[in-house]
């Protein structure tokens, strides 16, 4: 199992550090538990004597990371520091009183050179590029190797240079994310296949609940935060609705009959197939219900497959599977990128660290330890990675919709971004507020959408005004 293999790996690392295991025995044991060979070699080398700096100067850089459930980023930083004694990286998180976006914005607006490496969520990219807070990654290594990485995440970090108009890669996609449906296989007498539509999902959930075999039918993210935006745009897409006109991204289209049907559907789940506390659920609350066997279905991200397989915390580790979202819903494309602070004094060292995080061993470790859907395409066909975490075998299987492509490729081709705008934070705040208000019942769905339409129009008007002022002054 995922959790027990991880415990064995930690034990093997400790035994090698203390000299209890020989190099040969360490590699043999890691191979027996399905650990990818090149990753095992990297871990083995990290257990050996540390390399010494080649000069008297040591460059110190700061990386502000995203959340790190298993301590993975700190581990990879330690590995990098062992292999690159002339560059020492320190991983930090946003200050406790700020969310990661606002924390970074406040530092960059003040032209602070630290952190040197920034972890950026996909929808922040346009804002950070337009404001000149990050530098384009024009390094020849990245250009030559771009074809080896998943193309949809690369497209999501490619923007025109505000000064030249040339399209450039502005960040390195470390791992991607797509919304998936988790479902229980131990109700096979009642659920013979994953639901094809939201109506199927609701009917299946109600049957299992009526039989008294599970407390809740469907758990998802309804809290007033960015995760709700992801869930909302996915359900909207299954009703052919949108927040902005796809052909005119500045035009707000949320107050439509299709959007009303989508939001009304979500409201109808709360207190019936979904817990009445759903409007307070983020990822952690959702996953707690799922891991405790309290839900038939769950909408969440791919890395939760690792949590679900973890024997130390999961009661569903033998009884779940994964499927695309119902009703042709376009999965929300998430994921995190590594960018370089324009004001950093250590940009070359920052790039060396980013390049190391893109290489095979680091990408393998992110895949097997966190269950992240990494961006190096070859990882998905790595049989040892597939053995370690079956998510990768699932995503590498042929798609029923496009047999010449893998399921991952099809999901990414069909995936959608949250609104990518220089004023994303204001747009997201408005969406979160009114959708959450509808879920808790303080606004009727029709009123919530009317108010959201008006507020988004005001936001876009202010956003365009600021953009014109910036252009006029530059």
| 3-state class (DSSP) for residue 121 | strand
- Cα 167 to its chain centre, rounded Å, is 24
Residue 195's pLDDT is what?
Answer: 96
What are the tens digits of pLDDT across the range 81-105? 988 999 999 999 887 667 889 999 9
Is the alpha carbon torsion for 293, 275, 435, 183 positive or negative? positive
Close Cβ partners of 183 (under 8 Å, ≥ 6 residues apart):
191, 194, 195, 296, 297, 298, 320, 321, 322, 323
Q: How confident is the model at residue 32 (pLDDT cuts 50, 70, 90)?
A: low
Which CATH number goes with the domain that contains 210? Answer: 3.40.190.10
Q: Does residue 308 sit in the same domain as residue 373?
A: no
Encoding tokens for residue 17? 């550090």
Q: Does residue 257 sit in the same domain as residue 382?
A: no
Q: Of 348-357, 368-377, 434-443, where does mean pLDDT reach its minimum?
A: 368-377
Q: Does residue 186 sit in the same domain as residue 291?
A: yes
Of the candidates 389, 44, 448, the one whose C-alpha atom is nearest the C-alpha of residue 259 is: 448
Residue 473's pLDDT is what?
Answer: 36
Is the pLDDT at 187 greater than 80? The verdict is: yes
What are the tens digits of pLDDT across the range 431-440? 999 999 999 9
Residue 35's pLDDT is what?
Answer: 65
**Numbers of helices and strands, H then E, in the chain:** 20, 14
Q: Does residue 117 sit in the same domain as residue 132?
A: yes
Q: What is the mean pLDDT of residues 329-345?
A: 96
The conformational region for residue 339 under phi > 0 = left, psi -120 to 50 = alpha, else beta, is beta
Q: How far apart are CA 37 and CA 433, in angstroms?
A: 48
DSSP string across 166-218: -EEE-SEEEEEEE-EEEEESTTTTT-SS--SSHHHHHHHHHHHHHTTS-SEEE
DSSP structural state of residue 442: S
The 10 Å CB-count burial string (b at 16+, else e) for 365-397 is bbbbbbbbbbbbbebbebebbbbbbbbbebbbe
Residue whose token pair is 């530098």: 135
Q: How far apart are CA 73 and CA 77, in angstroms?
A: 6
> Which residue pairs from 3-9 have beta carbons closer than 8 angstroms and sit at least 24 positions apart in sequence?
3/309, 3/310, 3/311, 3/312, 3/313, 3/314, 3/317, 4/311, 5/33, 5/34, 5/35, 5/388, 6/310, 6/369, 7/312, 8/33, 9/33, 9/35
Is the pLDDT at 126 greater than 80? The verdict is: yes
Rounded-to-5 percentages of helix, strand, coil across the chain: 50, 15, 35
Contact 292, 315 (CB under 8 A): yes
Domain that holds residue 1: 1-49
What are the tens digits of pLDDT across the range 188-237? 999 999 999 999 999 999 999 999 999 999 999 999 999 999 999 999 99
Residue 53's pLDDT is what?
Answer: 61
The answer to whether residue 65 is domain-embedded is: yes
Residue whose token pair is 């923007």: 159
Residue 37's pLDDT is what?
Answer: 64
Q: Does residue 297 sit in the same domain as residue 341?
A: no
Q: Does residue 125 sit in the same domain as residue 214?
A: no
Q: Does residue 27 sit in the same domain as residue 128?
A: no
The answer to whether residue 408 is domain-embedded is: no
| DSSP β-bridge partners for residue 398 | 406
The answer to whether residue 261 is domain-embedded is: yes
Residue 399's pLDDT is what?
Answer: 81
Residue 423's pLDDT is what?
Answer: 87
Close Cβ partners of 110 (under 8 Å, ≥ 6 residues apart):
none
Of the candidates 217, 198, 195, 199, the one whose C-alpha atom is nearest the C-alpha of residue 207 is: 217
The answer to whether residue 386 is domain-embedded is: yes
The answer to whether residue 474 is domain-embedded is: no
Q: How far apart are CA 359 and CA 373, in angstroms?
A: 14
Beta strands in 81-130 (DSSP E): 87-92, 117-121
Q: How confident is the model at residue 283 (pLDDT cuts 50, 70, 90)?
A: very high
Contact 71, 58 (CB under 8 A): no
Q: Does residue 318 sit in the same domain as residue 270?
A: yes
Residue whose token pair is 């590498």: 396
The answer to whether residue 228 is domain-embedded is: yes
The answer to whether residue 61 is domain-embedded is: yes
Q: Does residue 65 sit in the same domain as residue 157?
A: yes
Q: Does residue 315 sit in the same domain as residue 367?
A: no
First to last CA, the chain: 57
Helix or strand run (H / E) with residue 466: helix 445-473
Is the pLDDT at 4 greater than 90? The verdict is: no
Q: How far is CA 261 from CA 172, 200, 241, 255, 268, in A?
A: 38, 16, 9, 11, 10
Q: Does residue 257 sit in the same domain as residue 385?
A: no
The count of domains in the chain is 3
What are the tens digits of pLDDT across the range 411-435? 898 899 998 888 888 999 999 999 9
Q: How far apart are CA 177 and CA 375, in angstroms?
A: 10
Close Cβ partners of 357 (under 8 Å, ≥ 6 residues apart):
76, 80, 172, 174, 338, 363
Q: Does residue 159 sit in the same domain as residue 194?
A: no
What are the tens digits of pLDDT across the range 143-168? 788 999 999 999 999 999 998 999 99
The answer to whether residue 403 is domain-embedded is: no
């Amino acid at each position: 199992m995922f959790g027990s293999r991880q415990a064995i790996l930690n034990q093997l690392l400790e035994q090698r550090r203390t000299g209890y295991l020989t190099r040969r025995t360490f590699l043999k044991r890691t191979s027996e538990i399905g650990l990818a060979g090149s990753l095992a070699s990297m871990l083995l080398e990290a257990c050996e004597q540390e390399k010494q700096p080649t000069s008297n100067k040591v460059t110190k850089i700061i990386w502000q990371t995203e959340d790190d459930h298993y301590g993975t980023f700190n581990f990879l930083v330690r590995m990098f520091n062992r292999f690159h004694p002339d560059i020492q990286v320190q991983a930090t998180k946003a200050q406790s009183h700020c969310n990661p976006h606002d924390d970074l914005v406040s530092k960059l607006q003040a032209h602070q050179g630290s952190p040197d490496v920034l972890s950026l969520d996909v929808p922040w990219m346009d804002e950070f590029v337009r404001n000149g807070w990050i530098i384009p990654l024009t390094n020849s290594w990245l250009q030559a190797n771009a074809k080896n990485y998943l193309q949809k995440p690369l497209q999501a970090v490619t923007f025109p240079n505000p000064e030249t108009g040339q399209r450039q890669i502005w960040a390195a996609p470390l791992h991607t994310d797509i919304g998936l449906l988790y479902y229980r296989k131990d109700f096979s007498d009642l659920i013979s296949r994953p639901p094809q539509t939201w109506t199927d999902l609701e009917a299946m959930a109600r049957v299992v609940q009526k039989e008294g075999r599970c407390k809740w039918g469907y758990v998802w993210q309804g809290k007033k935060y960015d995760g709700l935006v992801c869930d909302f745009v996915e359900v909207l897409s299954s009703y052919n609705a949108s927040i902005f006109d796809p052909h005119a991204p500045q035009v707000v289209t949320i107050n439509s009959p299709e959007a009303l049907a989508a939001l009304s559907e979500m409201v109808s789940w709360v207190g019936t197939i979904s817990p009445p506390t759903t409007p307070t659920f983020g990822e952690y609350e959702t996953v707690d219900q799922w891991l405790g066997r309290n839900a038939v279905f769950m909408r969440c991200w791919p890395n939760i497959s690792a949590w679900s397989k973890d024997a130390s915390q999961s009661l569903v580790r033998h009884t779940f599977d994964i499927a695309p979202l119902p009703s042709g819903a376009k999965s929300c494309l998430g994921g995190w990128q590594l960018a370089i602070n324009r004001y950093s004094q250590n940009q070359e060292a920052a790039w060396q660290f980013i390049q190391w995080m893109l290489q095979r061993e680091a990408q393998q470790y992110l895949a097997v330890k966190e269950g992240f859907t990494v961006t190096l395409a070859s990882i998905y066909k790595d049989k040892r990675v597939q053995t370690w975490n079956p998510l990768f075998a699932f995503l590498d299987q042929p798609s029923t919709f496009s047999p010449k492509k893998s399921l991952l490729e099809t999901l990414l081709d069909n995936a959608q971004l949250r609104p990518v705008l220089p004023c994303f934070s204001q747009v997201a705040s408005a969406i979160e507020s009114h959708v959450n208000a509808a879920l808790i019942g303080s606004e009727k769905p029709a009123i919530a959408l009317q108010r959201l339409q008006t507020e988004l129009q005001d936001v876009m008007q202010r956003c365009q005004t600021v953009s014109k002022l910036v252009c006029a002054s530059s």
